[in-house]
């Protein structure tokens, strides 16, 4: 990628602010995480919080973090973190887009010995909708790049309940907490009905890699939010991440 860099020397958690009419987004340089999404003044996302208490223990929750290169538990035989390392990385910000990008570093090569570039772009398509685009490039090319990325959005549930509906069925989530449930749909669109907020639609067409439908994980460990996560790989029961595709 050739582009002018913006704030290249800074290494904090700067946030890009995007607005369209009565819609607003905040995107952090840390992992290109969407930390806030408001529509007509209403917060759709549970805010990103590194110290949110779950069962009395501080956990990182909130926003829309990206899981790369792996989703779920640490793949067997590797030293990757759960959900990968991108969400902790300080990404470069390019002015055309804006696009946030990450390439391999000494730290990533230590746990993931591959050369790559991840570029993330968030663009409003209306005041109530935005496109989240992630492009992954194998910059070495002589070696296959094993990847199993996912998005991990946390949607607020102010009344503690939500209903998730997809093309070939529906799931009703009405308990304070549930274990992760993986669901396959033959369509591209998932609708989430959230009392107190309204309806949220996820159109994950570009995740439908081979045309055979999409896999989502529905999960929560608090009545304050629900995660509906489009995924491209499934963690094995023994903790071995099953990478579903390579580039």
172 and 57 inside one domain: no
What is the predicted pLDDT for the residue at 10?
40
Within-domain flag for 3: no
Q: Look at residue 155 in the predicted model and tell me its pLDDT.
A: 97
Beta-bridge partners for 20 = 23
* Residue at 239 is within a domain: no
How far apart CA 167 and CA 189 sit, in angstroms, is 7
Same domain, 141 and 181: no
Whether residues 69 and 18 share a domain: the answer is: yes
What's 201's domain CATH number? 2.60.15
Among residues 120, 145, 170, the one where a domain terminates is: 145
Decide if 87 is inside a domain.
Answer: yes
- Comparing CA positions, the residue from 219, 170, 160 lying closest to residue 191 is 170
The answer on 193 and 108 residing in a single domain is no
The reply to whether 23 falls in a domain is yes
Query: What is the predicted pLDDT for the residue at 212?
Result: 61
Q: Look at residue 1 and tell me if it is in a domain.
A: no
> pLDDT at position 2, please?
26
| Longest Cα–Cα distance in the chain | 51
For residue 78, the enclosing domain spans 9-145
* Domain contains 244: no
**pLDDT at residue number 97:** 61
Total number of domains constituting the chain: 2
Flag whether 246 is in a domain: no
178 plus 122 within the same structural domain: no
E-assigned strand segments in 62-213: 66-67, 92-94, 99-103, 116-126, 129-138, 146-147, 150-151, 154-156, 162-166, 169-173, 178-185, 189-194, 198-203
Assigned token pair, 81: 């973190």
Q: pLDDT tens digits for the chain (247 residues)?
A: 222 333 333 444 588 899 999 999 999 999 999 999 999 999 999 999 999 988 888 989 999 999 999 988 887 778 888 899 999 999 988 766 678 999 999 999 999 999 999 999 999 999 999 999 999 999 988 888 888 889 999 999 999 999 998 766 677 776 667 778 888 777 778 889 999 999 999 987 665 555 566 788 899 999 999 999 988 877 654 445 454 455 5
pLDDT of 210: 53
Centre a 10 Å sphere on the Cβ of residue 237 and count the other Cβ atoms it contains: 7
Convert 77-88 to b/e letters by CB count within 10 Å (16 or more is b): eeebeebbbbbe
Last residue of a domain, one of 145, 168, 195: 145
The verdict on 190 and 214 lying in the same domain is yes
Same domain, 200 and 133: no
Q: Is 206 helix (H, G, I), strand (E, B) or coil?
A: helix
Q: Are residues 111 and 22 in the same domain?
A: yes
Statement to judge: residues 141 and 178 lie in one domain: no
241, part of any domain: no
Do residue 86 and residue 205 come from a single domain?
no
**Domain CATH for 141:** 2.70.98.10
Q: In terms of domains, do 139 and 34 share one?
A: yes
Does the predicted TM-score (pTM) go above 0.75? yes
């Amino acid at each position: 990628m050739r582009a002018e860099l913006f704030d290249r020397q800074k290494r904090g958690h700067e946030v890009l602010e995007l607005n369209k009419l009565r819609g607003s987004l905040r995107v952090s340089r840390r992992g290109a995480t969407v930390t806030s999404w408001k529509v007509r003044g209403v917060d759709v996302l549970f805010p990103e919080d590194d110290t949110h208490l779950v069962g009395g223990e501080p956990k990182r929750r909130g926003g829309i973090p990206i899981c790369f290169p792996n989703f779920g538990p640490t793949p067997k035989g590797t030293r990757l973190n759960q959900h990968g390392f991108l969400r902790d990385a300080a990404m470069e910000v390019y002015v055309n887009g804006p696009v946030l990008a990450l390439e391999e570093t000494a730290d990533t090569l230590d746990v993931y010995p591959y050369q790559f570039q991840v570029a993330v772009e968030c663009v409003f398509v209306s005041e109530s909708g935005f496109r989240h685009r992630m492009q992954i490039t194998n910059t070495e090319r002589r070696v296959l790049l094993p990847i199993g990325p996912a998005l991990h959005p946390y949607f607020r549930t102010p009344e503690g309940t939500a209903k998730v509906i997809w093309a070939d069925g529906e799931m009703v989530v009405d308990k304070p907490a549930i274990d992760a449930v993986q669901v396959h749909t033959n369509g591209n669109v998932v609708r989430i009905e959230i009392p107190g907020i309204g309806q949220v639609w996820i159109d994950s067409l570009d995740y439908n890699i081979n045309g055979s439908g999409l896999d989502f994980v529905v999960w929560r460990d608090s009545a304050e939010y629900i995660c509906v996560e489009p995924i491209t790989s499934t963690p094995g029961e023994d903790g071995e991440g099953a990478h579903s595709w390579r580039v």
